[in-house]
């Protein structure tokens, strides 16, 4: 399995309603997501499916990334801010070894998940970053993944 873990792009500090879940991408976040979508679309192992947190900044990131890929986008509450990492591993376990999936979400959850996959507790996901992993057995991903690369627009 090729797993692309994407932290949403740079977001606005606040939302018009004051609710965290409604914060939108900042212009830099939009550029990060567009850049990442183009970069992924140019690869031979590009994602064929994207699963995103329903929060606005993650949704906007996922939509911008998916546009050049022309892939389906679905939402999963296990990718919401502050959900436990175990839910993400449960989600990963629902895929097959040959799948190419991108997950779009938030920190601190994604840094924890990537750290567990890469066996590196100091792993840090920055906004607009994509970590790419190869996983032989998605149902046993924890500690059994290989970090292939990291992408982020400077």
Q: What is the mean pLDDT of each run of 10 residues along the chain (154 residues)?
A: 98 92 96 98 94 98 97 96 94 97 97 95 96 96 94 93
Give me the phi and psi of 149, to 5 degrees please.
180, 170
Domain spans of the chain?
2-151
Contact between 134 and 1 under an 8 Å Cβ cutoff? The reply is yes
3-state secondary structure of 2: strand
CA distance 119 to 113: 10
CA distance 116 to 132: 14
CA distance 67 to 69: 5
Contact between 38 and 90 under an 8 Å Cβ cutoff? The reply is no
Question: What's the pLDDT score for residue 143?
Answer: 87
How far apart, in Å, are the Cα atoms of 143 and each of 110, 112, 113, 120?
15, 12, 10, 9
pTM of this prediction exceeds 0.75: yes
3-state secondary structure of 104: strand
Q: The domain 2-151 is classified under which CATH number: 3.10.520.10, 3.60.15.10, 3.40.50.1240, 3.40.50.300? A: 3.40.50.1240
Q: How far from chain centre, in Å, is Cα 24?
A: 16
Question: What's the pLDDT score for residue 154?
Answer: 84
Question: What's the pLDDT score for residue 5?
Answer: 98
Contact between 91 and 76 under an 8 Å Cβ cutoff? The reply is yes
């Amino acid at each position: 399995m090729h797993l692309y873990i994407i932290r949403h792009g740079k977001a606005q500090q606040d939302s018009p309603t004051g609710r965290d879940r409604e914060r939108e991408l900042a212009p830099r976040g939009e550029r990060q997501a567009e850049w990442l979508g183009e970069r992924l679309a140019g690869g031979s192992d590009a994602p064929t499916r994207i699963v995103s947190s329903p929060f606005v900044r993650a949704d906007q990131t996922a939509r911008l990334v998916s546009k050049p890929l022309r892939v389906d986008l679905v939402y999963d509450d296990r990718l919401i801010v502050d959900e436990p990492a175990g839910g993400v591993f449960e989600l990963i376990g629902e895929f097959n070894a040959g799948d190419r999936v991108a997950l779009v979400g938030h920190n601190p959850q994604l840094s924890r998940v990537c750290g567990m996959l890469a066996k590196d507790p100091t792993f840090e996901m920055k906004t607009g970053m994509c970590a790419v992993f190869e996983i032989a057995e998605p149902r046993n991903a924890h500690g059994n993944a290989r970090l292939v690369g990291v992408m982020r627009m400077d």
